[in-house]
Structure 1
Amino acid sequence: MTSKEAGEMVSAETVRSQLDTVADMPGKQFPNLKVMLLLDAKDDLTAFAAFPERDRKKIQSTNPQERINREVKRRTDVVQACPNDDALLWLVTAVLFELHDEWIAFPRRYLPEGSVDQLYPELPENAPALPTTTNTPAG
């Protein structure tokens, strides 16, 4: 297999059939695992395959979560010791609020506009209206 072939994305059907193959591997030794993978978790494990191929790598990545974890760790290391659990919770909440405010002030798209629209081209009639955001300064 060449490096180009290794980096190519596969179809959703291929992903699901590969999961079937992987679930068959433990076979007789772990029958409950096969049931769990094939029946209970198959939709969750293959959900990324429904997204457009160009977005799958970003969906698979944990980089945004790791960035948040690094920032929380950096800020808690500065404090070094929290007197109690409530103080720690307050600090982490403050960091998350600060990051949220930063994301609102400097909006960037992680996925291209319209990517998720391809998943649901037509919303059902009873679907709630999508929220609209405005970037107007407070004051």
Structure 2
Amino acid sequence: RVHFMRNVLAHAGKSGRRVVSAFIATAFAQETPEAASAQWRAVADQIRPKVPKLAVIMDDAEEDVLAYMTFPKEHRSKLHSTNPIERLNGEIKRRTEVVGTIVRLVGAILLEQNDEWAVQRARYMTLETISQMSDDPLISLPAVAR
């Protein structure tokens, strides 16, 4: 419902958004799926002369947008809203931002440590001493590492 309204209002134009929103809301206010569907079609027919593209969008979307009406009335407010999924997505984003920050911090520390190891030859194993362990004459150290 929420995303449909956003899409529809983009086609309604600035001056017609409130009217279109109010018209469509009358369909959402109905008690039964049959009444909602009848009101939906009546709204689409009212809009059709002025904004035919919007009426076609409503015709195509009726079944999907009003699908929540087939559930018991107690469940409808939870089904037509995107709040639960948006809350979940927000939690995931918030937590992954923290993890991302930690990953970047650890990466920076490892990069810094790598730079220190490359510069402080006496403290750690050097590439020159490790290369002596290989019997393969084709293995050679890159010029940058020496």
Both proteins in one fold, TM over 0.5: no
TM-score (norm 1): 0.45
Q: Pick 1 or 2: higher relative contact order, CA cutoff 8 A, min separation 6.
A: 1
Structure number with greater Rg is 2
